[in-house]
Amino acid sequence: MQANNNTNVVDGRAIAAQIQQELAARVAALKQRGVIPGLAFVRVGEDPASKVYVGRKEKACAELGIVSETHILPEKTSEAELLALIGKLNSTSHLHGILVQAPLPKQIRESVVFSTVLPTKDVDGFHPVNVGKLMLGDGSGFKPCTPAGVMELLARSGVKTDGAEVVVLGRGNIVGKPMAAMLCQKGKNANATVTICHSATRDIKEHCRRADIIIAAIGVAHFVKADMVKPGAIIMDVGVNRIPDASSKTGTKLVGDVDFANVQPIAGKITPNPGGVGPMTIAMLLQNTVRAAEIAVS
């Protein structure tokens, strides 16, 4: 199957906007009960990408009517200082969610930080209780936003995952591992046969060529090339990589893990980057926060 126009491009911005419209009704219902969803962002240090991501999330909250506050701590902050702040946020009742932006400076252990956020406020889905619930297929926990966003993109663009061969490129805790857990779960819009490929995988190309669906979260610019893709395969590009670009003012540009120009013509469906998975991550954060508020007042 050869597609030589853009009709196979999945519009993540439009699907995220649709979800935000659905959430607006839930925010209005909460407001009628006197509750405004509240979300705290915590950023440690001045990582440029983290600044951009937190800024986008703040804007999306404001647009939906979620009240957010952002705590910016210096790069040298100790783990104890960060844990003390999280403790305060845990016990602040108008804050229904807490998001500590990763990566954190090296003196701070992410695992300790993520375990300190109350599981009921863990809108990132990183607390071990929520990770465990995901593995157990217990839907009462919060799911990590990026893989949850990919699942929504697949479902809402009509991709059948049942019985599909899916290759997940990357085994990170934020995307790869939870992505695989969601895809292989027994249930609607899941039920896939999943292979996780990583840096020690012997022949990634061979795995990819078999795949009906490829989820690229490997963190290497343009890693997925046309000769790695079965014609008609579904391609979800999670990657955000900065590469040199002489034509840009900054001298760099952001690209995904997929060589879009060459893969798009042979793919069944493909996400653009930007404008694919990224907006869905934010939509899922909003969804988790609205849900946290609903649970808190139920």
Binding stretches for ligand GUN (CB under 6 A): 99-102, 124, 145-146, 174, 281
Give dist(CA 198, CA 83) in Å, integer. 32
Q: Among residues 20, 57, 269, 287, which one is catalytic?
A: 57
Residue 101 bears catalytic tag: yes
Closest-by-Cβ residue to ligand GUN is: 102
Whether the bond between 274 and the residue before it is cis, its omega within 30 degrees of 0, is: yes
146 vs 264, beta carbon nearer ligand GUN: 146
Residue 249 bears catalytic tag: no
**Tokens 């009240």 belong to residue:** 67
Give min distance, CB of 70 to ligand GUN, in A. Answer: 13
Give dist(CA 173, CA 76) in Å, integer. 25
Provide the 8-state DSSP code for 106: T
Give min distance, CB of 145 to ligand GUN, in A. Answer: 5
**Tokens 């936003």 belong to residue:** 145
106 vs 186, beta carbon nearer ligand GUN: 106
Task: Report the alpha-carbon angle 131-133-135, nearest 5.
Answer: 70
Give min distance, CB of 281 to ligand GUN, in A. Answer: 6
Q: Among residues 121, 122, 124, 257, which one is catalytic?
A: 124
Give min distance, CB of 261 to ligand GUN, in A. Answer: 26
Residue 259 bears catalytic tag: no
Calculate the CA dihedral of residues 67, 72, 77, 78 and round it to 10 degrees: 10
Closest alpha carbon to 174 in 234, 82, 239, 260: 239
Task: Say if residue 116 is exposed, middle or buried (CB neighbours under 10 Å; 0-12, 13-18, 19+).
Answer: buried
Provide the 8-state DSSP code for 9: B
Task: Report the alpha-carbon angle 248-252-255, nearest 5.
Answer: 105
Q: Among residues 101, 185, 264, 287, which one is catalytic?
A: 101
Give min distance, CB of 186 to ligand GUN, in A. Answer: 25
Hey, which residues are catalytic here? 57, 101, 124
